[in-house]
Chain A
Amino acid sequence: MKKRLRSISMLLAATLIITVLSGCDRLGTELVDLMIIQGIAIDVTDSGYTVCVQTLNNAQSSFSNGENKAQSPSLEYHSEGETVAVALENAVTISGKEPMYAHNRIILIGEKAAKRGINDILDFFVRDYNTRPTVPIAVAKESDAKSVLEAKIESDLISSVVLEDILKRSNLFGRAVDARVLDTVNYSHDTTAALCLPAVITREDGEYKELSLDGTAVFNENNCLTGYLSDDETFGLMLINGKTDKGVFSLITDNNETVTLVMEKVNTRVEVAVNDEGVPEYSVNIYASCDVNEYLNGRSGHLGREAIERISQSGAAELEKLALASLSATLKDLNCDCFRFGRRLWLSNRKAYDGLEPRWKSVVGDIPYTVTGRVTIRRIGEESFLN
Chain B
Amino acid sequence: MRNNIISSGGLYSIFFVSSMTGAFMFVSSSRSEVANSDLILLPLAFTLILVITSIPIMVYVKRFKSVGILDACTALSPAAGKITALLYCGIFILGSVRTVSRLDLFVSSVIFPEVDMSVYMLVVVAACAFASSYGLAALGKMGKITAVFFVIASVVILVSLKGELDFLNLTPLFADNPSSFLNASVLTASYAVEVALIPLLLPRLTGNKVKGFYMWLLASYIGITVFAFVIVTALGFYANTQIFPTFTLSALGEIGLFQRLDAIETAVWILGIVVKLALFLKCSSMTLCYAFTGMGKRTALIICSIITGLSVVYISQNIMRFTFFISPAQTAISYGLLVVAIPVAVITADAIKGSRRRYEKKAS
B237 interface hit (Cβ, 8 Å): yes
B110 touches A346 (CB 8 A): no
Which listed residue (A24, A25, A189) contacts B237, Cβ 8 A?
A189
Taking a contact as CB atoms under 8 Å apart, the answer to whether A344 and B168 are in contact is yes
Bound state CA distance, A130 and B248, in angstroms? 12
Q: Which residue of B lies closest to A185 (CB)?
A: B238
Report 12 cross-chain contacts, Cβ distance below 8 Å, ordered by A residue. Answer: A21-B123, A24-B112, A126-B238, A126-B242, A129-B110, A129-B113, A132-B251, A185-B237, A344-B168, A346-B172, A347-B170, A350-B175
Chain A positions 62 through 101: 1 when the CB is less than 8 Å from some CB of chain B, otherwise 0: 0000000000000000000000000000000000000000
Q: Which chain A residue shows the least CB distance to B37? A: A347
Q: Contacts of A9 on B, CB cut-off 8 Å?
A: 130
> Does B4 count as interface, using CB distance less than 8 angstroms?
no
Question: Nearest Cβ in chain A — how far from B326, in angstroms?
Answer: 20
State A126–B172 Cα separation when bound (angstroms): 26
In the docked arrangement, what's the CA distance between A127 and B113, Å? 12
Contact for B252 among A21, A133, A350, CB less than 8 A: A133
Q: Confirm or deny: A248 has a beta carbon within 8 angstroms of a beta carbon on chain B.
A: no
- Range, interface on chain B: 20 to 34
Q: For chain A, give the interface size range.
A: 20 to 34
Q: Does A186 contact B (CB under 8 A)?
A: yes
Known: A129-B113, A133-B251. Is A17-B123 also a contact (CB below 8 A)?
yes
Contacts of B348 in A (CB 8 A): none
A185 in contact with B241 (CB, 8 Å): yes
Question: CA A347 – CA B166 in complex, angstroms?
Answer: 13
User: In the docked arrangement, what's the CA distance between A350 and B171, Å?
Assistant: 10
Q: Given A21-B120, A21-B123, A343-B168, is A182 in contact with B252 using a C-beta cutoff of 8 Å?
A: yes
Quick one: given A186-B236, A190-B237, are A25 and B114 in contact (CB under 8 Å)? yes
Please give, as numbers and ranges, the residues of chain B lying within 8 Å of A21 by CB-CB distance.
120, 123
Q: How far is the CB of B186 from chain A (nearest CB, A)?
A: 26
Instruction: For A346, list chain B residues within 8 Å (CB).
Output: 171-172
Are B238 and A182 in contact, with the CB atoms below 8 A?
A: yes
Contact call B241/A350, Cβ cutoff below 8 A: no
Task: Tell me, rounded to whole Å, the shortest Cβ–Cβ distance linking B297 to chain A.
Answer: 15
User: What per-residue 1/0 map shows which CB atoms of A124-150 lie under 8 Å from chain B?
Assistant: 001101001110000000000000000
Q: Which 9 A-B pairs have the closest CB atoms?
A: A186-B236, A189-B237, A185-B238, A182-B238, A186-B237, A350-B172, A25-B112, A126-B241, A129-B113
C-alpha spacing A127/B248, complex, angstroms:
12
Q: Does residue B299 face the partner (Cβ distance < 8 Å to A)?
A: no
A385–B168 Cα distance when bound, in Å, is 42
Asked whether any CB of chain A lies closer than 8 Å to the CB of B311, the reply is: no
> Which residues of chain A are within 8 angstroms of B130 by Cβ–Cβ distance?
9, 13
CA distance A126 to B252 in the complex (A): 14
Bound CA span A7–B203, Å: 32
Residues of A within 8 A of B (CB): 9, 13, 16-17, 21, 24-25, 126-127, 129, 132-134, 182, 185-186, 189-190, 340, 343-344, 346-347, 350
Q: Which residues of B contact A13 (CB under 8 A)?
A: 127, 130
Task: Collect the chain A residues with CB atoms within 8 Å of residue B238's CB.
Answer: 126, 133, 182, 185-186
Chain A residues with CB under 8 A of B123: 16-17, 21
Given contacts A13-B127, A16-B123, 4 further A-B contacts (CB under 8 A): A21-B123, A129-B111, A134-B252, A186-B236
* CB-nearest residue of chain B to A17: B123
Query: Chain B nearest CB: distance from A80 CB in Å?
Result: 24
Interface residues of B in 164-185 (CB under 8 A from A): 168-172, 175
Question: Could you say which residues of chain A place their CB within 8 Å of the CB of B111?
Answer: 129
* A129 and B172 form a contact (CB under 8 A): no
Chain B's nearest CB lies how many Å from the CB of A186? 4
B228 within 8 A of A: no
Cβ of A25: which chain B residues have Cβ within 8 Å of it? 112, 114-115
For residue B235, CB closer than 8 A to chain A, the reply is yes
- Candidate in A17, A25, A182 with the most chain B CB atoms within 10 angstroms: A182
B109 is an interface residue with CB less than 8 A from chain A = yes
**Alpha-carbon separation in the docked complex, A11 to B260 (Å):** 32
Residue of B nearest to A102 (CB): B260
How far is B120's CA from A186's CA once the two chains are assembled, in angstroms? 36
Report the bound CA distance from A189 to B238 in whole Å.
9
**Once the chains bind, are B169 and A186 in contact (CB under 8 Å)?**
yes
**Bound form: Cα–Cα A150–B165 in Å:** 35
Q: With A186-B237, A340-B168, A347-B170 as given contacts, are A129 and B109 in contact (CB-CB < 8 Å)?
A: yes
